[in-house]
Chain A
Amino acid sequence: MLDVLGGLPDALSLGSVLAMAAGTAMGIVVGAIPGLTATLAMALLLPFTYAMSPLISLGMMAGIYNGSMYGGAIPAILMRIPGTPSAVATTFDGYPLARSGRAKFAMHVALVSSAAGSIISALALMLLAPPLVSFALRFGPVEYFWVAIFGMASVSLLLASAPAKGLAAALIGIAVGIIGMDMITGAERLVFGIRDLSGGINIAVLMTGLFAVPPALSMLVPDSGVGDRRSTLSGAGIRLADLRGLVKTWIRSGVIGVVVGVMPGAGGNLAGILGYSEERRAARDPSLFGKGDPRGIAASECANNADNAASFIPTLALGVPGNSVAALMMGAMLIQGLNPGPALFSEHGDVVYGFMWQMLLTAFLMLAFGFAGAKAFAQIQRIPGALLAPMILVVCSIGTYAASNNMTDVWLMLVFGTLAYGLSRSGYPMAPIVLGAILGPLAESSFRQGMLITRGDPAGFVSSPVSIVLALAVTAVLLVPPGRHLYRVIRRTV
C-alpha cells in the first residue's frame, strides 16, 4: 500500500493535473457528442503522446476515459440518444426524467454516480493489481504464452457477433503485429519488399486507422444524431438528501462494474446494462423503473464508470488488455517504452501508481467540471457532424505524421482505416485486431522460448499448475460458442 501512496506526488504535479483537467474536459465533450467515443478520442491523441512525458499522456487518457463515460449520459438524458454505447441503460430512466421537467436533476444524478463508479473502480485497481503482480512474478514463457492466447481468444469470441469473425480479426492483428524483422532469426516477414515496413508497424498508426477513421465516416450520415438541437436543461439540481438514497445503488453497481471490468472482452455497455438490471431486480418497487427512477440512472452510470479503472487490472499486472480502451492505454505505454506486466511495477512504480491516482483524481475533476459546465456541455450536440468528421480526419493525419515524421505512416493509417471500414461493415470487430497486434508477437516469442526450455516437448506447456489452469481457461473460452449453439438447439427441441 505504501508503494501506491508513493505515486500520489507525481500524480499531483502541475503538469499531471493540467493534463488530467484537459483530458477530463475533452472526455466529457467527446462523450456528449453521439458517435464520438473514448476509443476515438484516445486514438486521436495517441500519436501526439510521443512528445509527452508518461504521466502527462496517461493523465490525459485517464481523464478522457472517465470523462467520456459521464459525457455519454448527457445526450442519453436530454435526447434519448446514448452519447457512447455504455450509456444505453441511462436512456431508460434519464429521458423520462428529463421529459418530466427534471433534466438538471437527472444530469446531476448521472454525474455523481459516474464519479462514485470511477472512485470505486480506481480503489479496486489500487487494491487488486499489486497482489496480481506478486502472483504473475511466477510466470515464465509458457505461462505468458497461455495468458496471451487467453486474452486474444476471450476478446475475439466475446466481442464478435460470430466467433469465426472474432478469431479472424485476431489473426489479422497477429499478421500486422509480426510484420517486420523476426527478432530471433533476423528474417524479414510480410514486408513484401517495402523498405518502410521492415521496422514493423507503429501501433499508434494502426490504432488511429482502426478507431478514428470509421467513426468519422459514419458522422457524414445526416441523421447520425450529431448536430441535434433539442437539448435543454430544465428543473432543479440534486440535493444532499437525494444522494443518501443512492449509496446502496452505487455499492451494488460499483461491484458489478469492477467485476465486468476485470473480465476480458466485456465493457462499459455490458456493465451499464447489468448494473441497471440488478438494481431493478433488487428494488422493492420495480414498476417505477423506465418511468424516470433516479436509481436507474445511478445504477447504469455508476456501473459503466466502475468498469473503467478495473479494466486496467489485467493490463497493468499481466500486460493483457481486456478491451479496446485498455489496448489503447497499453499502446500509449509502449510508445513511452513502458512494457505493462510485473516488471513495470518494480522498474517504473512512479508511473504505474501515479496513473492509478490519476484514475481516481479524474473522478473529482469530472465532478467539478460536470457541475460547473453542465449547461455548456448540454449545447455540444449542436456541432454539425458533417463538419466534425473532416476535422477529426485532418487531426488524425497530422498526428500520425507527427509521430514519426514519415508520410508512409499517414498512408498506412489510411490503409488501416479503409480495412477497418470494410471489415466493420461485415461484422468483424476491431478490438481483437489491436489485441492480436499487441499479444500476437508476445505469444509467438513466448511459444518459441517455451519450446527451447521444454526442448521441443509440447507436454511442457501443461506441466505447471498455473499453465494447466490457463490451458483449461482457454479451452473453456473456446467451448463457449459451440456450447451456446448446443444450448439453443436443445431449447428449440424441448
Chain B
Amino acid sequence: MSELTRTVVGRPERLLVHALVALGGAVILWETASLSSDSATFPGAVGLGLILFSVISAIATLRSVSAPTVEAPLVQGMIGLALLGAYVGSTVLAGFLTSALWFLPAMALVGGERRRSWLVAASAGFVLLAFVVFRLVFAQPFPPELILGEI
C-alpha cells in the first residue's frame, strides 16, 4: 500500500495526536497513584515515558511542515470508522449478517463504488456465503439475526 497512495498529514493533526498520547500518559500516572509501589513502578514509568516521548515528538513536529501517510484520508477514514461504530452498535439489535446488508453498500459508496447492481449482488452474495460458512464451521452462538435467525 505504501507505494500506492500517499496523502499528507498536517501539523495540527500530528500535534493533536502527540497531545493525546501525553494525555494518556498523564491518565496512567494518575491511575497508578492509588497503587502500592510494587504494582505502580512499571505503569508509572510507562506514563512518564509516554509524556516524555510525546513532548519530543511534538518538538520535532513543530520543526517540520507536513508528513506523508499511507493511511486513508481523514474524511474517508473518519466516515469509515463512524460507519463501523454504527455497524457494531446495530449488530446488538439486528445481528452481524443482517447489519452487514446496510453496512456493505454504505461503506462501498464511501469508497466510490457507484454500480448499484454490483453493490446489491456483492452484499447479498457475501452475507449468504458468510451465513453458510459460519453456520457450518462455528458451533458457538452469535447474537440473534433479525432476518436470518440464529447462526
A interface residue numbers (CB < 8 A to B): 34-35, 37, 48, 51, 81-82, 85, 88, 161-162, 164-165, 167-168, 171-172, 174-175, 178, 182, 184-185, 187, 189-190, 192, 213-225, 384-387, 389-391, 393-395, 397-398, 401-402, 405, 407, 410-411, 414, 417-418, 421-428, 440, 444, 447-448
Contacts and interface: CB of A to CB of B under 8 A. Distances in A.
Contact of B36 (A185, A402, A440): A185
Contacts of B57: 162, 164-165, 168
Contacts of B4: 34-35, 81, 223-225
A402 B142 contact: yes
Given A384-B113, A384-B118, A426-B18, A417 B71 contact: no
Candidate in B57, B96, B103, B126 with the most chain A CB atoms within 10 angstroms? B57
Interface string B86-123: 01100110001000100110111111110000110010
Given A192-B31, A394-B96, A385 B134 contact: no
B1 to A, nearest CB: 5
Contacts, number: 225
B113 A407 contact: no
Interface residues of B, number: 74
Taking chain A's interface residues, is the majority helix, strand, or loop, or is none over half, making it mixed?
Answer: helix
B85 to A, nearest CB: 6
Given A35-B4, A417-B81, A164 B76 contact: no
Contacts of A390: 100, 103-104, 106-108
A389 B109 CA distance: 11
Given A81-B3, A218-B5, A394-B130, A190 B38 contact: no
Contacts of B132: none
Contact of A220 (B42, B76, B104): B76
Contacts of A217: 71-72, 76-77, 80-81
Candidate in A384, A390, A402, A440 with the most chain B CB atoms within 10 angstroms? A390
Given A81-B4, A424-B71, A426-B18, A393 B107 contact: yes
Contact of B49 (A48, A168, A222, A414): A168
B96 A401 contact: yes
Nearest to A383: B122
Interface string B111-149: 111000011001000100010001001111111000000
